[in-house]
Every structure is written in structure tokens, then in C-alpha cells.
Amino acid sequence: MKTQYCPLCNRGGLSVRNDTVKFDNLHSCKYLLTPVTAESLTNLQKKCQTMNHPQIFGNLTFNQRLMRNNIFSTPVVMDCEKAQVKKYIEMKKRQSVRKYDELKVLNAKLVRIGTPPLITGRKHEPVQTELFLEELFEKPDESEVALQTDYFLNKPSTPLYCSTKMGQDASTQIESGDLFDYDVEIQPILEVLVNKTIEQALIEVLEEEEIATLREQQRKFLELRAVEKAEQQRLEEQDRRLREEKNRRVKQYEEGIKKQQETKERVAAAVLLTGYIAELLPIVLEGLKISGFLLDEIKTDVQQEFMPWLMKELKKEIGTMIQSRSILEELVKKIIKNRFKIYTQLGDEYDASRKLKVKSLENICKEEEY
């Protein structure tokens, strides 16, 4: 916080607002922007009193803005002091000039060290080191190159219409040579044009050479890459072949081992069978036959002999049954027919006798009535 002094009592204080300052927590007074002079101090003291300033200590010797001497007097420099001052200024000037000269000599030495001495068998030649090349007026080696430019379009037919002009017309007479001499004026422009063209051409040629070198390098690299790629693929193929061969042989070996094991087991089993099971087999077969598990012989016997015989006998029996049945049917029919005849005859005879009986009875009745 900025410390401010009361313009009236010259005591320090802290600014509370923009225009009010508080002094030592005892009193506050209005900050006055107007400059204070010694003449107006008494009036200000009065003002300060009117603004409830409790006590004024008006010791002006402590006010920094006041001059403690007589206001009509000016500071006086003695003659001896003047000479000293002048001497001092001159000395300073001389020193600065000497320093400047020394610096100049040193810079000159630093900038131009000088051409190194000649080596035996060599000689100095002037070389252009400027930014732009300049023509040296010695005819260089020339070579002609022909180029086919792009084709131009046909000039279109000129239209009839012409537009109105813009601006105002003015005229003046220019004699030949008034403006400029073409041959003289064109020389610097032409020089710049030619030099720039040569420079550009040089740059382009260098660029083309660089590109050609790069392409050649790239081609060589690609050739090497192709060879290495082929070698890599050969090794991969070799590795694949060896791996497949190894796998095939391992598999073959494993199969051989497996077959050998199986053969061994078979041989062992065959030996065991011949020695041990050969005696057991007939007994087992016999037992099975007895138990009825081996039905092969009975089955063939039944199929080949019994069944045809059975069929034959069955046919014979059924044939006799059919024949006897038909004979029996014929006999029954005959008997029934005979009986039918007998019974019909007997019925007729019975009916006739009955009718006779009825008639006789009727006759008897009639006779009785009479």
C-alpha cells in the first residue's frame, strides 16, 4: 500500500479511499490535489482546522517540498570547481575517442585477416562470390538445344464490338530519345534476365542430376533386395522341405514301431493258443454241443431232410382231407335230394288223405242234416 503524507501536517498515513487518507488512526483529512506553497500554508492550516483536524504540527523544515534556504538566492559554483569539472569532461571525451579508435582497429583486423600465403605450384584466381552471377563478357562454351513447345490455340476471330474507353484522353509529343535509349536501358535488365536464367538452368540441371543419382541408387537397392528376397524364399522353402521330411520320417518310424509291437503281440498270442488252448478247444466244443449251443448239425438236418418230408406229408394229408370232404358233400347232397323227394311225396299223400277225410266228414255232416 502506498504511504501518503498529509499536505497540511506532513504526517504519513494510509489511503482509505481514492481521495481520503487515514493518518495514524487518529485523524483523517481530505487529500488535496492542488499544490501547496509556503504562502498558502496558513490558509490551508485554517482549512485543516475547519475540517476537524485535531492538532497541526507545522514544522516546515521536515517538508521535503520546501526549500530551506533563501528563495532569492541561487547555488553558487566556485571558480576552482568549474575548472575541475571542465577538466573531467575533457578527459572523459578523450577516453571515449581513444576507445573508439582502438575498437575500430581491432574490428578491421578481425574482418580482414588477409589471404593465406600461396602453396607452391598454385596461383590465385579471382572468383565471383556475389549472390547473383554476372556475365564476365568472355564467351563461354555454348551448345544448342532444340525444344518442341506446346501447341498454341488458333487465334479466334476478332469480334466487331469494341467497348467504350475508361478515363480521360490526354496527349503529348515525345521526340525520339526523350524518354530513354532502348539499347542502353535494356542492358541491365537483359543481364539480370540472362543471369537469372542461367542460374535457374544450373539449379535445374543439378536437381536433375541429383534425382538421376537417387534413382540409380534406388535401382541398385531394389536389385539387391530382389536377390535377398529370392535367397530368403529359397531358405524358407528349404526349411519347409526339411521340416516336412522330418515329420514324414518321424511318422513313418512311429508307424513301424506300432506295427512291430502288434506283430509281437500276435506271435505271442499264437504261441499261447497252440500250447494252451489247443487242448481246451475240443472239450469246450463238446460241452457246447451237449448244452445245445452249437446247433449247426441239427439245423442242417431239419432244413434239408425233416422240413421237406414234413411238407410232403402235410400235402398228402391235406389232399386226402379235401378229397374225403368233397365225397362226403356229394353223399350228403344225394341223401338230401332223396329225402326231399320222399318227403314231398309223403306230404302230397298226406294232403290228399286229409282232403278225403274232410270231404268224408262233410259228406257225413250233410247226410246227418238231411
Partner 1 sequence: MYPHPQLNSYLNGLSLQTSKIIVNRTVYKALQEKYTRGGRNSEFLRVTSIQPQCFAPHVDVTRAKCGFKQFALPKLNMELGSDDPLIVRQALTTLTDLLCYPEKLSEAIQLNIPNSLTDFLVSNDPYLRERVAMAYATIANQVSGKEAILKNLTTVANLSRGLDDSLAAVRLQVARVLEALANNNSAADKLCIYGFVKAISGKLTNERKDILIIYLSILELLFHRNSKAAAIKNGSFDEIVALLSRKDEILLCKSLSCLRVLCEDLSGKQKALELDLLVKLKELLTDKREYVNLEAARVMSFITITSRGKLRLLELRMPSFLLLTLTQKCCPSQELILTNVAEAPEGRRMLLKYESLIENIAVGKNQVLQRHRQTLLDVVRWRP
Residues 6+ apart with CB under 8 A from 257: none
Q: Within 10 Å of residue 48's Cβ, how many Cβ atoms?
A: 23
Assess 152 for contact with partner 1 (CB under 8 A).
yes
Assess 166 for contact with partner 1 (CB under 8 A).
yes
DSSP single-letter state for residue 49: H
Assess 197 for contact with partner 1 (CB under 8 A).
no
CA distances from 167 to 144, 164, 170, 316 (A): 48, 10, 10, 150
Nearer residue to partner 1 within complex by CB, 24 or 236:
236
DSSP single-letter state for residue 71: T
CB of 222 to partner 1, least distance (A): 9
Could you say which residues in the range 73-92 bind partner 1, by CB under 8 A? none
Nearer residue to partner 1 within complex by CB, 74 or 149:
149
Q: Cα–Cα distance between 11 and 22 in angstroms, integer?
A: 10
Phi-psi region of 177 (alpha: psi -120 to 50; beta: other; left: phi over 0): left
- Cα three-residue angle 9-15-16, rounded to 5 degrees: 120
Contacting partner 1 (CB under 8 A), which of 153, 174, 184, 278? 153
Assess 163 for contact with partner 1 (CB under 8 A).
yes
CB of 161 to partner 1, least distance (A): 5
**Piece in contact with partner 1 (CB under 8 A), picked from 90-98, 150-158, 320-328, 345-353:** 150-158
Assess 310 for contact with partner 1 (CB under 8 A).
no
CB of 186 to partner 1, least distance (A): 18
Count of residues that interact with partner 1, criterion CB under 8 A: 25
Q: Are 243 and 251 in contact (CB under 8 A)?
A: no
Contacting partner 1 (CB under 8 A), which of 233, 260, 303, 345? 233
Q: Cα–Cα distance between 261 and 255 in angstroms, integer?
A: 10
- Give the cell for residue 245: 521330411
Q: Cα–Cα distance between 43 and 31 in angstroms, integer?
A: 16
Contacting partner 1 (CB under 8 A), which of 2, 68, 124, 165? 165
- Give the cell for residue 128: 565471383
Q: Are 62 and 10 in contact (CB under 8 A)?
A: yes
- Give the cell for residue 53: 483536524
Assess 147 for contact with partner 1 (CB under 8 A).
no
Contacting partner 1 (CB under 8 A), which of 194, 230, 314, 365? 230
CB of 144 to partner 1, least distance (A): 24
CB of 248 to partner 1, least distance (A): 14
3-state secondary structure 111-125: HCCCCCCCCCCCCCC
Nearer residue to partner 1 within complex by CB, 233 or 304:
233
Could you say which residues in the range 235-254 bind partner 1, by CB under 8 A? 237-238, 241
Residues that bind partner 1 (CB under 8 A): 150, 152-153, 155-156, 158-159, 161-166, 223-224, 226-227, 229-231, 233-234, 237-238, 241
